[in-house]
Structure 1
């Protein structure tokens, strides 16, 4: 099967219209349509449903798309491996990063630009669940994410780098800062901003308040992650929940309150596919990530 046809097909699925796909792969739309018809003829099944506003993969197309991504990823790895044998480190490395570690990844990216100029980074910022799925689908080379607490998803390997945990925090001048005798009633007297992710944090807070006979706090603002809204907390009396890595990896005016919730310890680390050889460039970037995390509070022993 012609790899070029597979890439044309992938572009159609990813861009959702033939026009956008043609621009993405730098061919004319008639040429792209002819290529897709050729691929469908080879396989003997329809791959795309042509609709007035674009195209969608058929059930045959969804299966081919899943394998095509893996094939394209492995071909890219083969080319990079050959480059490494020639003494070159170049190509594109795709890395997933959770929002709270974005500043760490920014430092790594600056180091890559300075020391590995032939390497191009493509970063995907998302929550751990989305990054895990992207890894399994072959869309990422590696990811810096919140490691699963219970069982590891089949096919992935995990390397813990930083021990972290949720902290209840607010602005430095908040009336509750510095108090050592805080009660849940004291906390309930102020507005809260509780991120939606991960949902376990909200569940733990609600359970603690209910067990004490105090109505659980309601979020004044619903957000997916506090990292994009810490400025709101800094300019108000809001109380929020943040991972300790947020307080130690990027400039912030948030300060932790002296409260004791039964938050379980959490670990941030690298994840990658077990049975897929890592690109030389990916291995180099992963080592830079290890080095950056080793300097953080809560760093754990990392593989070298």
Structure 2
């Protein structure tokens, strides 16, 4: 088994360096030895793993599949090695967290600060998830945890755990001092046509939210509002609404994080389905203390807010 792992890690270096010669220099292993490693793997799997070209080598499609698994093994080994080491608490370890735009609005800030306080040697890498790449990024170790939408494409992946946390609803919002709030009737209602008196900003980063908001607005207001600007970043959309008389539609989770001035929902309820949100991570990380703590705190926090 250890010999097989050695061959796999050699393959990873060969592909990373682009040639057997460069990999030989980096690993201090002879080129014939590297060639034998590749031959061993190709015999074992029964498929070619490398394609030779004028400038070196590149992986075949099956070779890419093997390399994705090796990258995940490397990531898990790095984590396991630090746990097994008696001094692992004193070593820096990275926790790679990807988040969709709603989560990036600040919903996770307090939890991540708690995580860093409990595990001071964990370096949290918090980044935007790449649309359409979440599952592969988790599978090959580029991400450890992802926060996002329903993750329907992950439901059949037996190597991943989906933890539902909350659901979001879309709301028509304005800054807290917006003149529309002065036009609310005694019964607490705001006639729908008043919302058409003001300019609008459309948040366009996520197609599912944009399409749902467009449909819900047309259904509720009777006709589309006057769109003055579209914005593909949630933070910029929030800033524009905070500093103007514009209205917009945003997920309630993002609205709750907007302060100074706060964003406040108008009393015009949209008919829209709740979008489930949660976290996704590889099974082998479920008992890793930082991921276990992160999961528990997220469940506790969003159970209390639902």
Normalising by structure 2, we get a TM-score of 0.71
TM-superposed deviation, 1:125: 2.2
- Map Cα deviations across residues 137-174 of structure 1 (whole Å, 9 max, x no partner): 44322223233589935333322333432211122232
Partner of 1:247: 255
* CA distance in structure 2 between the aligned counterparts of 1:112 and 1:9, rounded to whole angstroms: 37
* CA distance in structure 2 between the aligned counterparts of 1:228 and 1:55, rounded to whole angstroms: 44
* CA distance in structure 2 between the aligned counterparts of 1:67 and 1:249, rounded to whole angstroms: 38
Aligned with residue 285 of structure 1, among 294, 299, 303? 294
* CA distance in structure 2 between the aligned counterparts of 1:73 and 1:252, rounded to whole angstroms: 41
Partner of 2:239: 231
- Map Cα deviations across residues 101-155 of structure 1 (whole Å, 9 max, x no partner): 3334333333333332232222222377543453344432222323358993533
Partner of 1:302: none
Partner SS state of residue 162, structure 1: strand
Partner of 1:22: none
Runs of 4+ in 1 over 6 A off after TM superposition: 33-37, 48-52
* CA distance in structure 2 between the aligned counterparts of 1:48 and 1:192, rounded to whole angstroms: 54
Confirm or deny that 1:174 pairs with 2:171: no
Partner SS state of residue 220, structure 1: strand
Partner of 2:45: none
Residues 164 and 68 of structure 1: CA distance in aligned 2, closer, same or farther (over 3 Å): same
* CA distance in structure 2 between the aligned counterparts of 1:252 and 1:153, rounded to whole angstroms: 43
* CA distance in structure 2 between the aligned counterparts of 1:119 and 1:223, rounded to whole angstroms: 34
Contact 1:108 1:288 (8 Å CA) reproduced: yes
* CA distance in structure 1 between the aligned counterparts of 2:152 and 2:260, rounded to whole angstroms: 27
TM-superposed deviation, 1:233: 1.6
* CA distance in structure 2 between the aligned counterparts of 1:204 and 1:109, rounded to whole angstroms: 30
Partner of 1:21: none
From the CA coordinates, give the structure whose radius of gyration is larger.
2
Residues 173 and 281 of structure 1: CA distance in aligned 2, closer, same or farther (over 3 Å): closer
* CA distance in structure 1 between the aligned counterparts of 2:175 and 2:282, rounded to whole angstroms: 40
TM-superposed deviation, 1:240: 1.4
Partner of 1:31: 25
TM-superposed deviation, 1:74: 3.1
Partner of 2:115: 112
* CA distance in structure 2 between the aligned counterparts of 1:77 and 1:166, rounded to whole angstroms: 39
Structure 1 runs not aligned, ≥5 long: 13-17, 19-27, 299-304
Contact 2:174 2:247 (8 Å CA) reproduced: yes
Contact 1:104 1:293 (8 Å CA) reproduced: no
* CA distance in structure 2 between the aligned counterparts of 1:228 and 1:49, rounded to whole angstroms: 47
Structure 2 runs not aligned, ≥5 long: 43-47
